[in-house]
Amino acid sequence: MTWFNHSKLFDLARRGQRLPHIAVVVPLAFLFTLIAQFGAFPLLIPLGLVYGFTATGVSLAGVPNTLAGFWMSLQLVSSFILAYVILWAWLKWVEKRPFWTLGYEVKGALCQYGRGFLIGACMFAGAVGILSLFGGVSLEQGDLSKQGLPAVTGVLLVLVGWVIQGGAEEALIRGWVLPVIGARYKPWIGLLVSALIFSVLHGLNPGLNAIALINLALFGVFAGLYAMREGSLWGISALHSVWNWVQGNFFGFQVSGMNADGGTLINLMETGADWFTGGAFGPEGGLAVTIILALGIVVTLFWKSKSANSSE
């Protein structure tokens, strides 16, 4: 597995004039995330005054679905777009390297993004398949204007927001934290630290449980391995984005404990023990997703591609 120790992501990180110390990278990852979240305030405050606030944000329950999808997408964009700006500024003025060195090379980008999109959709569909096999899901009756064909426009609008959100988290964690620490120290340290940071960043989400924390860390390991093996962020950014979109706006589940407004194409709900289905956190808090992520890690580690056979 030469790709593990010699991933292109590490070479890209070394293009800068300096690799920050781990004691700098870890707190900055949390600080950058916190600052980026403030970008949503100019939108959330007026939305909340118009539509009302909930414990997790703004209530869009009574808003027409297409409009709800637009506002949900805009919330995601405004909450994460600053992460790109902050990283660009840090790379330009501190590390002295271009933004694309996070793993955004143009060559092969479309193929990598499309492949990641397909893999992410199939992985979460696999988790739903496991839940279905053991009676862990059932159809839920809901507002007919917010599910099925009437919801298509809103669902597609939300996808734009998920693309920004998933890409921003990947740029920060797998594009910056993992390669910088992995290049300066050891690849496994970069992988482990980035996975733990990813898990902790979601530690305040509603409905969190022990299995959810484990799954978040497992996703962090899987995503790190995927990005390291591909030597790029395009694929894992697409996978992350579509995972959230399919979970919340295709199947109608909670996304890491958060509501996904904008409608759903298939409205499912968990039935059965929370340790298996995830309960209030959504499927990411249950063992069905644990199984999928464990399989994803094994396949990523040991899948023999043609290029791997020629170089490993």
- Percent share of the chain, pLDDT over 70: 97
Q: Give whichever of 201-210, 250-259, 294-303 has the largest mean pLDDT.
A: 294-303
* The pLDDT value given to residue 109: 97
| Residue 277 clears pLDDT 90, i.e. is over it | yes
pLDDT at 135: 93
Q: How many CA atoms lie within 13 A of 234 on its CB side?
A: 16
| Nearest CA among 288, 235, 229, 285 for reference residue 257 | 285
226-264 burial code (b ≥16 CB/10 A, e <16): bbbbbbbbbbbbbbbbbbbbbbbbbbbbbbbbbbbbbbb
247 within 8 A of 253, measured Cβ to Cβ: yes
pLDDT digits (tens, 9 = 90+) for 52-71: 887 777 888 888 999 999 99
Stretch 172-185: mean pLDDT: 98
Asked whether 197 and 177 are in contact (CB, 8 A), the reply is: yes
**Over residues 147-171, mean pLDDT:** 96
Judged against a pLDDT cut of 80, whether residue 305 lies above it is answered with: no
Q: Which of 3-7, 123-127, 257-261, 292-296 has the lowest mean pLDDT?
A: 257-261
Burial of 41 (0-12, 13-18, 19+ CB in 10 A): exposed
Three-class secondary structure of residue 14 per DSSP:
coil
With a cut of 80, say whether residue 163 has pLDDT above it: yes
Number of neighbours of residue 144 by Cβ within 10 angstroms? 11
Residue 233 pLDDT > 90: yes
Go through the chain and tell me how many residues it has: 312
- Structural domain spans, the chain: 2-311
**What are the residues whose beta carbons fall under 8 Å from the beta carbon of 184, sequence distance 6 or more?**
19, 20, 21, 22
Report the C-alpha gap between 217 and 162 in whole angstroms.
20
Measuring CA to CA, which residue among 283, 120, 302, 310 is closest to residue 207? 283
Q: Is the pLDDT of residue 82 over 60?
A: yes
Higher pLDDT, 58 or 159: 159
Residue 307's pLDDT is 52
Q: What is the predicted pLDDT for the residue at 62?
A: 82
pLDDT for res 155: 96
Of the pLDDT bands very low, low, confident and very high (cuts 50, 70, 90), residue 309 is very low
What rounded mean pLDDT belongs to the chain? 93
Judge whether residue 311 has pLDDT over 60: no
Mean pLDDT of 103-117: 97
Q: Kindly compute the dihedral angle of the four CA atoms of residues 265, 266, 269, 274, in this order, to the nearest 10 degrees.
A: -90
Closest CA to 155 of 78, 65, 76, 75: 65
Q: What percent of the chain has pLDDT over 90?
A: 85
Q: In the predicted model, is pLDDT for residue 306 greater than 70? A: no
